[in-house]
A = this chain, B = another copy of it.
Amino acid sequence: MTDFQRVDAYLEANLDRSLDELSRLVAQPSIAAQNLGLEECAALVGEMLRSRGFQVSILPTGGAPVVFAERKGRSEKTLLFYNHYDVQPPEPLEEWDTPPFEPSLRNGKLYGRGVSDDKGHIVSRLFALDALLATEGELPCNVKFIIEGEEETSSVHLHEFIRQHTDLLKADACLWEFGGVDHREVPMQYLGLRGICYVELSVETASVDVHSGLGGSIFPNAAWRLVWALRSLKGPDERIRIPGFYDPVKPPSPRDRELMAALPEVAEEYRSRFGVQEFLKGLEGGLELRLAEVFEPTCTICGLTSGYQGPGAKTVLPARASAKVDFRLVPDQRPEQVFEQLRAHLDAEGFSDVHVELLGGEPPARTDPDDPFVQIVVKTAEEVYGVPMQKVPMTGGSGPNYPFVHDLGLPVATAGLGYPGTRAHAPNENIRIDLYLKHARHVARILSAFAAS
């Protein structure tokens, strides 16, 4: 029996126990947006690490605490795992087939809020460490974990935390919190994340709502002010109208285009998965759709609220209105700069009455697709998944990779248990048990290969 055969045998034999542990973690709500259960979840994650012989610290950040953990290994190399224990809000609750915080196993899948994003990643990685410890008696290299509790609210305190703990977090490479296979079952290597600038726009035009018959033609209406302010940000041509917004944007390089061109078609899958009739800007598919998806910045309305929202008619002129707006940023845009540009634009367009609050911001960042650590992760994936891992130079999502890349100076590679039906951020979030196991097998191999590199 080879080392990896023993590892794999351990994982097969102990799968149910690991899923039980994951279910316990999922059953602990930890909703960053609602400041719910975060301390309790951090404590639970800390206990899980401590029980594996890690030295654990629960460190304050000004928001939800960071769980930091460290255990020495055979080689001098240090791998840093980045994960998060917070989850998205579960709403709309009525669209869940089983309650979001009561994990449910059926048809080879485990359902629950956070089961994929990101608690499944945490526990499957611990599972990989269990297998290495059980079969080798020690870890092949030094391992550190940084597990934060504000990823779903744009990691507002993480950047500053990393800047203040660069020594503690010293490592040689970082394995990111997510990853997985695409619709062809091909494991994917995601090498860049867009940044984000998440704001709330709000307007108040009166102290109370007014009967619409009285005020309609003479009183300002908060909902109209909001609609006009939003329209000033972007029109149906999808061009973002904030002056200077596009100035720092770097177009994809020839290497980016080459890697993007090698990726499979996504148009049909998106159409059927999301029920989308057509794509924006006349895009129909192919390389140009994929490039637009990740190399362009966005301005997305995530939520609108004002006045009466119940059934039927209520004749009210709303005193208050608000919108949640999410800008996705590409290199070299910066959230604080976009926030300033947005404020200046609204003022210039006559919307000084529209209040803007920054709810979260992260700069975009990328890792070189040809970095040696990336090559290790890609090579070991093929051993587990049976097909070559495919490199994606940039992805549409966001995350706090900037301080890892630019403050800690680490290559950041991805590996994970996701798949296209995982429904992260949506009702009925789930993981496939087969991919949970594969991710643990992959992580065990990454650690061994990295230790020897």
Which residues on B sit within 8 Å (CB–CB) of A283?
218
- Given A207-B274, A213-B396, A228-B235, A218 and B293 touching (CB < 8 A)? yes
- Given A302-B307, A307-B302, A308-B91, A328 and B216 touching (CB < 8 A)? yes
- Give bound CA distance, A276 to B353, whole Å: 13
- Give bound CA distance, A359 to B312, whole Å: 7
Asked if A426 is at the interface (CB within 8 A of a chain B CB), the reply is yes
- Given A32-B312, A303-B308, A304-B307, A236 and B226 touching (CB < 8 A)? no
Which residues on B sit within 8 Å (CB–CB) of A298?
212, 216-217
- Give bound CA distance, A301 to B294, whole Å: 35
Q: Which of A287-322 contact B (CB under 8 A)?
A: 289, 292-294, 296-319, 321
| B303 & A306 in contact (Cβ 8 Å cutoff) | yes
Which residues on B sit within 8 Å (CB–CB) of A296?
217
Which residues on B sit within 8 Å (CB–CB) of A230?
224, 227
| B88 & A314 in contact (Cβ 8 Å cutoff) | yes
A154, A206, A209, A324, most chain B CB atoms within 10 A: A324
Q: Is the interface of A mostly helix, strand, loop or mixed?
A: mixed
Interface digits, A221-240 against B, CB 8 Å rule (1 contact, 0 not)? 10110111011001110100
- Given A218-B279, A279-B218, A328 and B425 touching (CB < 8 A)? no
Residue total for A at the interface (Cβ-Cβ under 8 A) = 94
Closest to A322 in B: B309
| B208 & A301 in contact (Cβ 8 Å cutoff) | no
Asked if A433 is at the interface (CB within 8 A of a chain B CB), the reply is no
Asked if A170 is at the interface (CB within 8 A of a chain B CB), the reply is no
Min CB–CB distance A360 → chain B (angstroms): 5
| A293 & B217 in contact (Cβ 8 Å cutoff) | yes
Asked if A60 is at the interface (CB within 8 A of a chain B CB), the reply is no
| B280 & A219 in contact (Cβ 8 Å cutoff) | yes
| A221 & B154 in contact (Cβ 8 Å cutoff) | no
- Given A274-B219, A280-B218, A33 and B207 touching (CB < 8 A)? no
- Given A219-B274, A280-B219, A425-B315, A212 and B300 touching (CB < 8 A)? yes
| B397 & A211 in contact (Cβ 8 Å cutoff) | yes
Interface residues of A (CB under 8 A from B): 32-35, 88-89, 91, 152-154, 194, 196, 198, 205-221, 223-224, 226-228, 230-231, 234-236, 238, 270, 274-281, 283, 289, 292-294, 296-319, 321, 323-324, 326, 328, 350, 359-360, 395-398, 424-426
Question: Which 6 residue pairs spanning A and B have beta carbons closest together?
Answer: A207-B275, A213-B397, A216-B298, A33-B312, A223-B301, A303-B307
A-B contact pairs, 16 of them (CB 8 A): A33-B310, A211-B397, A213-B397, A213-B398, A215-B270, A216-B396, A217-B298, A218-B292, A219-B274, A227-B227, A228-B236, A300-B317, A303-B316, A305-B306, A309-B324, A313-B324
In addition to A216-B299, A217-B396, 15 A-B residue pairs with Cβ atoms within 8 Å of each other are A33-B311, A35-B312, A198-B313, A206-B274, A213-B328, A217-B292, A218-B281, A218-B292, A224-B230, A302-B307, A302-B315, A303-B316, A304-B305, A305-B305, A308-B324
